[in-house]
């Protein structure tokens, strides 16, 4: 039995197969409408979510399965003090697969240890978000037609942004990928990601505070929200929240075939005037999220 806790739990080959499976689902969704008949997905969300939870639920429904779960810790037994281990054991009696989001780093890993069904990490604190990364990889594969030979600019909150950490781990395995890390000094990529992923694998990267300077080089611009909920004080958040606002002027020096991505939700970091630019693909990206999650559910339930 497999779970997905860290994006590196899947090999590059397995990710290729998943992307190909998602492409097939996009081409012919009707063929998949009964694949999970009689199966249940439990969504255990201890933190807010729109896209991740609802795309998981829509994914399971479009596979003909059912969904149970909760969308806030307060409405679960966590509010009474139940441990993750016990919750995981119990949900294993009620469902066939779990998607869990939790504010504590490592919580889904604990759940996977005690569950007797597959567990999917749907975001753990400021740590990882592997299913967003699968979404991002499908987006890049479809929009750029390749996952190698790319210069990837990551902009915003690289410190707390879990989608950034997982995406760097995943992209570092493809050839000829370079990263441009664009953030204010206080929101730089954590040193463990730099050391264990970038330096260890000799991946070229550049750190800068200037989005304008980085722009002409980029094949992908991955914007992120400043993660208010992870800050220790509101003052720091208020000072840093509008560090980068992408607008039409800032795109002046960009490549014609740049793609602009964002895991969403956006707050202020992309001006809505950018939405009509053909290079903006964040809404398509959100749509791809459902299809890759359909492919993932099928993989983990070993349904072909
Ligand atoms: C991201 C997350 O939860 O980390 N959202 C998502 O799942 N699409 C990004 C964010 O909240 O900023």
Report DSSP letters for the chain, one per residue: ---BSSGGGS-HHHHHHHHHHHHHHHH-GGGGTTTTTT-EEEEEESS--SHHHHHHHHHHHHTT-EEEEESSGGGSGGGGT--HHHHHHHHHHH-SEEEEEESSTTHHHHHHHH-SS-EEEEEETTTB-HHHHHHHHHHHHHHHS-SSSEEEEEES-TTT-HHHHHHHHHHTTSTTEEEEEE--GGGPPPHHHIIIIIITTT--EEEES-HHHHGGG-SEEEE----GGG-S-HHHHHHHTTS--B-TGGGTTS-TT-EEE--S--SSSB-GGGTTSTTB-HHHHHHHHHHHHHHHHHHHTT--
CB atoms within 10 A of CB 229: 11
Task: Decide if pLDDT at 78 tops 90.
Answer: no
Index of the ligand 1 atom closest to the CA of residue 122: 7
Task: Decide if pLDDT at 75 tops 90.
Answer: no
Question: Does 92 sit in the ligand 1 pocket, CB within 6 Å?
Answer: no
pLDDT at 30: 98
pLDDT at 77: 86
Distance, in Å, from the CA atom of 299 to the CA atom of 41, rounded to the nearest integer, reads: 14
Question: Does 52 sit in the ligand 1 pocket, CB within 6 Å?
Answer: yes
Residue nearest to ligand 1 atom 6, measured at CA: 263
Sole residue written with tokens 């919580």 = 107
Index of the ligand 1 atom closest to the CA of residue 51: 8
pLDDT category of residue 76 using cuts at 50, 70 and 90? confident
pLDDT at 202: 97
Question: Does 225 sit in the ligand 1 pocket, CB within 6 Å?
Answer: yes
Distance, in Å, from the CA atom of 121 to the CA atom of 101, rounded to the nearest integer, reads: 6
The tens digit of pLDDT for each residue in 235-288 reads 999 999 999 999 999 999 999 999 999 999 999 999 999 999 999 999 999 999
Index of the ligand 1 atom closest to the CA of residue 161: 4
Question: Does 162 sit in the ligand 1 pocket, CB within 6 Å?
Answer: yes
Distance, in Å, from the CA atom of 201 to the CA atom of 196, rounded to the nearest integer, reads: 8
Residue nearest to ligand 1 atom 1, measured at CA: 263
Distance, in Å, from the CA atom of 157 to the CA atom of 160, rounded to the nearest integer, reads: 6
Index of the ligand 1 atom closest to the CA of residue 47: 3
The tens digit of pLDDT for each residue in 122-165 reads 999 999 999 999 999 999 999 999 999 999 999 999 999 999 99
């Amino acid at each position: 039995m497999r779970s997905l806790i860290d994006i590196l739990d899947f090999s590059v080959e397995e990710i290729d197969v998943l992307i190909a499976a998602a492409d097939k689902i996009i081409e012919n969704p009707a063929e998949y409408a009964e694949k999970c008949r009689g199966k249940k997905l439990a969504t255990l969300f201890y933190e807010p979510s729109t896209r991740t939870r609802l795309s998981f639920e829509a994914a399971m429904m479009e596979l003909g399965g059912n969904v149970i779960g909760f969308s806030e810790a307060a409405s679960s037994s966590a509010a009474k003090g139940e441990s993750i281990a016990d919750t995981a054991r119990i949900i294993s009696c009620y469902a066939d697969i779990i998607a869990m989001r939790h504010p504590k780093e490592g919580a889904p890993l604990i759940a996977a240890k005690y569950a007797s069904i597959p567990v999917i990490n749907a975001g753990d604190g400021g740590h990882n978000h592997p299913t967003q990364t699968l979404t991002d990889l499908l987006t890049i594969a479809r929009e750029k037609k390749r996952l190698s030979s790319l210069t990837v600019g990551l902009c915003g909150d690289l410190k707390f942004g879990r989608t950034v950490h997982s995406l760097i781990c995943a992209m570092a395995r493809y050839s000829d990928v370079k990263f441009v890390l664009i953030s204010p000094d206080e929101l730089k990529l954590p040193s463990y990601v730099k050391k264990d992923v970038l330096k260890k694998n000799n991946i070229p990267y550049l750190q800068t505070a200037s989005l304008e300077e980085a722009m002409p080089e980029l094949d992908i611009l991955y914007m992120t929200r400043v993660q208010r909920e992870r800050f220790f004080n509101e003052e720091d958040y208020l000072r840093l929240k509008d560090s980068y606002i992408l607008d039409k002027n800032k795109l002046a020096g960009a490549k014609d075939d740049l793609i602009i991505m964002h895991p969403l939700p956006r707050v202020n970091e992309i001006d809505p005037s950018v939405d009509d630019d053909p290079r903006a693909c964040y809404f398509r990206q959100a749509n791809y999220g459902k299809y890759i999650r359909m492919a993932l559910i099928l993989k983990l339930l070993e349904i072909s």
